[in-house]
Chains A and B, each alone.
Chain A
Amino acid sequence: MHAEQRRFLEERYDASAWHGRSPRRGRPLKGFTFEGVEIPGWALLRTQRDDREEPPAIRSIWSRGEDRLLAVDLFECASVKAAHDQLIEALGNFESDAIERQAEKGAPGDVAFALGDTMVLFARGNLVVLIRNAGRTAVSVRKVARELDGLLGERLESEGRR
């Protein structure tokens, strides 16, 4: 990312308040794949893991009904700090200046950003998750974010106990 844009985003999103901070200190989760059961009520249409990207990305498209589509991207970073760098990278690909940090109780992840209830971006441990609408009928993604965050939290805990 362009250094000037990164500085702008760090200031705009008050990165000093959250960058590198996580309540979790365990092993990073690696090798995640979507099996199709991770988001109840949604059908996995397509998933692709790209290990050539840095960090490795798992991109997926989910459907519910005729015109409800979700794009769920997960990035496997090397560390919490790298995950928060990836958050800034992701924020740099939102054209809107209306994305806001979700600091209230119940927000997903260690750090989360959202636009209303139709887009959520969060980091949990070394993982970054971006959940967006991809179909014409926009739906709330909050419940999906909570469910996916819960699942990732369990897997990170499990990884930490190994």
Chain B
Amino acid sequence: MFAIEAIKFNHDTSAAKHDAFNIRKNATQFISVPEWRRFTCANPEDSRAAYAIAATRGRTITIEVSLSSTDPSVAIAEIRVEHHVKMRPVTFINGQTGFVTFELINPPVAHERVGIWDLEWHWEYRLGPHHPWHHLVITRHRTYVVLDLPTSPWNQGPYNAANTQLPWTDVLDHACRWADGATSRDMAAALVTQSVYALGPSVVTYDCPGGGSSHYSWSNFDCTAFIDRLRGGIGNGVYVNCSDCATILSTFANALGCDLWQSRMGWGFALNALLAIGSSVWQTACGWGSFSYHEVAWEAACTANDDVFDACLEVNGRSDPTSPPYLPLLPQDLRFGNPGDLVYRDRLATPAGRPNCNPQPATRQRRLVV
């Protein structure tokens, strides 16, 4: 006799303090509100919503639900999802409630860690406080939880189908799994760094045949092709370079609320032996001996005092990074440093190369996703 017609998770597209934030599926597919609709949504992936921990902390999360009734004798009913949606009465006028606000009980975002939750809500109704509860319907939803609202290149407005820089759920599908359980920006960025580096050699590998050229990040980030690659497609091929890795890392991490840049160092510097993504051989990047430039995901002003995340290569983590033995160290939240500091710069470049391996903060950017 009752039915749920639609559910809005992102019911206020101008804010994300009490509800989900603005998202789209990918470059071509928009996610409109209401996210769940009767007759069209069956599986969790048919109804997606994303929440930001920092933006919603300490606030009540609400959804808006539209119900209908085929029984003209019923004017009021109580509705709930035990343990998930707080009970409230609704009033039917001409068999419709219009959109009414419900409070969520302990929603996934309240757990305050990054993740993806597939929810199955068993809706119930009763005709009054002293009546028994009856089954109404089951709805299924996919909820993404990120640390804070996504940062550039992602944005929150304008909220329309033409804005391709709204956060993509195709990106959140991977980023939230890679950083599952993260409770801080540095932790999330580190987990994404590890996950991107671990894509080698099965998904991507360093571009030795092509001279370490950019296959996914010249000049925008061809995120559509990269996601195709993650799903087993051809994408733009198997090869990546440092700019690709820096762009993938920072763009996926920033979708979780991190605040990383893509920035270069240079120009023309000799290398210590390293383990490039997809390689199991310690050598100076395909045996070239030197880099024309290198690019990483970088924090803040992208200077020598700021920390880097490098998903493209592992450096030698021993006290003398210039010679064997080797101890693989994936640079995560590692200060770039000055020559002699024995941090990122010293581990990447030889003593002779270090003076030419300088931060180039003027190259700092966040490539658009396409």
Contacts and interface: CB of A to CB of B under 8 A. Distances in A.
Interface stretch (A24-32, A35-43, A94-102, A154-162): A94-102
Interface stretch (B40-48, B111-119, B230-238): B230-238
Given A2-B360, A69-B234, A97-B288, A133 B266 contact: no
A98 B268 CA distance: 11
Interface residues of B, number: 37
A9 B288 CA distance: 17
B210 interface: yes
Contact of B210 (A45, A46, A115, A136): A115
A4 interface: yes
A99 to B, nearest CB: 5
B242 A95 contact: yes
Contact of A95 (B211, B219, B234, B362): B211
B237 A95 contact: no
Interface string B335-370: 000000000000000000000000010110000000
Contacts of B285: 95-96
Given A93-B214, A96-B286, A133-B210, A5 B238 contact: no
Contacts, number: 111
Contact of B268 (A8, A71, A93, A130): A8
B268 A2 contact: no
A4 B211 contact: no
Contact of A138 (B209, B215, B243, B363): B209
Contacts of B288: 96-98
Nearest to B218: A93
A153 interface: no
Interface in A73-100: 91-99
Interface in A35-67: 45-46, 53, 61
B290 interface: yes
Interface residues of A, number: 32
A96 B212 contact: yes
Contacts of A119: 209-211, 213
Contacts of A46: 234
Nearest to B242: A95
B213 A95 contact: yes
Given A53-B219, A93-B218, A132 B210 contact: yes
Interface stretch (B11-19, B21-29, B189-197, B291-299): B291-299
In the complex, the 8 A-B pairs of residues with the closest C-beta atoms, listed nearest first: A134-B237, A95-B212, A118-B209, A8-B267, A96-B211, A138-B209, A115-B211, A132-B210
19 contacts: A2-B360, A2-B363, A4-B267, A8-B268, A61-B237, A69-B234, A94-B292, A95-B291, A95-B293, A96-B285, A97-B291, A97-B292, A98-B211, A99-B211, A115-B209, A115-B211, A118-B210, A119-B211, A138-B209
Interface of A: 2, 4-5, 8-9, 12, 45-46, 53, 61, 69, 71, 91-99, 115-116, 118-119, 130, 132-136, 138
